[in-house]
Amino acid sequence: MRALVLKDLRVLRPWWWLIVPAHLLFGANGIVAPQLFFAMNVALAWTYTILLLIVDWTQEADRYVASLPVSRRDMVQARYVGALGAALGGTVLYALYGRVLMAFATERLLARWPGTPGWESVEGLLTFFMAVWLVSMAYLPFYFRSGLGKGSWLFVAILAPVIVVGAVLVRWLSLPGPPGGVSGVLGTAGTVVVALALAATLGWLSLRLSVRFFDRRDL
Partner 1 sequence: MDAALELAGVAKSWGEFVLRDVSFRLPPGYITGLVGPNGAGKTTLVKIVLDLVRADTGQVRVFGQDHRSNGASLRSRIGFVHDRPTCYEHLPVEQLGSLVGSFYATWDEGAFRDLVREFELPRRRRVKALSRGMKVKLALALALSHGAELLVLDEPTTGLDPVFRRELLERLSGLISDGRTSVLFSTQILSDLERIADFVVILRQGEVQYEGVKDDLLDRWAVVRGGPEVTSELEGLPVRGQRQTRMGIEVLVEDVDAARRRFGERAVVERATLDDVFLLLGAERDGGRAS
Q: Burial, 89: exposed, middle or buried (Cβ in 10 Å; 0-12, 13-18, 19+)?
A: middle
Does 29 sit near partner 1 (CB under 8 A)? no
Omega of the bond leading into 34 within 30 degrees of 0 (cis): no
Does 108 sit near partner 1 (CB under 8 A)? no
Does 100 sit near partner 1 (CB under 8 A)? no
Q: How far is the CB of 142 from partner 1 (least distance, A)?
A: 20
Residue (57 or 113) nearer to partner 1, CB: 57
| DSSP 8-state code for residue 33 | S
Does 218 sit near partner 1 (CB under 8 A)? yes
Residue (64 or 204) nearer to partner 1, CB: 64
- The region of 5-13, 84-92, 137-145, 160-168 touching partner 1 under the rule CB under 8 A is 5-13
Q: What is the 3-state secondary structure (H, E, C) of 94-109?
A: HHHHHHHHHHHCCHHH
Does 107 sit near partner 1 (CB under 8 A)? no
Please give the Cα distance from 126 to 197 (Å, whole number): 12
Residue ranges in contact with partner 1 by CB under 8 A = 3, 6-7, 10-11, 14, 55, 59-61, 63-71, 74, 216, 218-219
